[in-house]
Amino acid sequence: MINLKNLTISETHNHLTKGDFSAVELAQAYLSAIKETDGDIKAYLEIFPDVVEQAEEADKKIARKEEGLLTGIPLAIKDNILIKGRKCSAASKMLADYVAPYDSTVAKRLKDAGAVFLGRTNMDEFAMGGSTENSAFGPTRNPSDLSRVPGGSSGGSAAAVASDETLASLGSDTGGSVRQPASFCGVVGLKPSYGSVSRNGLIAMGSSLDQIGPITKTVADAEIIFNAIKGKDPMDGTSVETAGAISANRKNFKIGIPSDLMDTEGIDETALKNFNESAERFKSMGYGVECVNMPNVKYSLAVYYIIMPAEVSSNLARFDGLRYGLHISGKNLAEDYFLTRGGGFGIEARRRIMLGTYVLSSGYYDAYYNKANQVRSLIKNDYDEAFKKVDFVMTPTAPSPAWKIGEKIKNPMEMYLADIFTTPANITGIPAISLPSGFKKDGDKSLPLGIQLMSDHGREDLLFKAGKDFLNE
């Protein structure tokens, strides 16, 4: 019997190469775990029918001694990342039966590394939401408390890792969609620097904000997956060659706490106490902790909720019912559009399309969209200045632990405010990691809490170093 609870990628790799168990036996153990628990959690939209065959191929690679660290490692993939020949619906009726005609770059790189894809995970429709309640196929539940959300939009990916239904997973992060569910589910979530991981084959939400990232149990696992999927890609003009790990072994690291952002009202008392305790923990390890002045960062949420819907309205214009995806026939072409888009998009997708169309419309473009981009530059400048003095900027990942299913779905503004700490990293393109940092007791339940570390563009190596220190890896 394979104990899935404490497995890491490196340990699993050692077991596979030593012959303690095979990739097929490991895959079957995860399939059994999914069968046992996913009826309650609903992390997956589909389990792929050829999981065992993929694992058999991995075993052949291992037998030939052609394996790498990820050979035979079971992974779950968010339902907006294309895998050739598989359905990829972005959890929307609009693409319910869409089959990917090609591999996304990340899928291809993971296939080449010998990873085993277990299935596709649930998410908020087109990655719009922070709770995975906006899926056209029903909500995912938090493994720590089935009455609560797992976060979003990569809620299925985070819940699958937290419930041992996969060893690791991929999500996408536009405003916190990897880090916030990682925090709510008590696992590690990395949003890499913008451009470090190709977006080719990711169903677009906000093209200047989107980034694919790993959700794992340990920082070391996040680093392994990041190293496998990063790098320049001719299919993505915004991708860049990463320098790789620069030496992050020096001492005297400094952490900056943005007092302008931490003065925000509405942070849960336990989350704030946990954050302060985490800062003290870093101090005890020899890290310097000081306040940094970042006066414009508090406008990040407002900037994000102008730029993101604008890009959404542009990206989702392609779903017109004519080329692929859902088509509902009307009396004429205009009615085809109305019926298809009205029937295919859920409430949150329609809301963001309308918001985006409004801020891009004649007479409002300068007042909203251009102004937001100007403030975006000021926010980026705040971080540039901060990183001249400190190595990291630290905040809670989210202002609270996971909320109850249904609690905020009818109040979108309250849901949007949960992104207050995560959106700055997407606006500025810097890397950020969420680390499990404690719990809030709620009756007999322990609700996970997380802290977020951000570093300068391309300095994922610093995040991995600090994350391993914090979690004693």
Catalytic residue among 153, 157, 400, 455: 153
CA 239 to chain centre: 18
Residue 294 CB neighbour total at 10 angstroms: 22
Residue 363 CB neighbour total at 10 angstroms: 6
Catalytic residue among 104, 154, 177, 196: 177
Calculate the CA dihedral of residues 393, 282, 391, 307 and round it to 10 degrees. -20
Tokens of 267: 């942070």
For the question of residue 65 being annotated catalytic, the response is: no
Residue 158 sits at φ, ψ, to 5 deg, of: -70, -45
Tokens of 433: 């990691």
CB 91 within 8 A of CB 45: yes
Catalytic residue among 78, 191, 408, 440: 78
For the question of residue 153 being annotated catalytic, the response is: yes
- How far are the Cα atoms of 135, 169, 391, 425 from residue 292, in angstroms, in the given order? 39, 34, 11, 16
For the question of residue 78 being annotated catalytic, the response is: yes
* Ramachandran bin of 429, using left for φ above 0, alpha for ψ from -120 to 50, beta for the remaining angles: left
**Active site amino acids:** 78, 153, 177
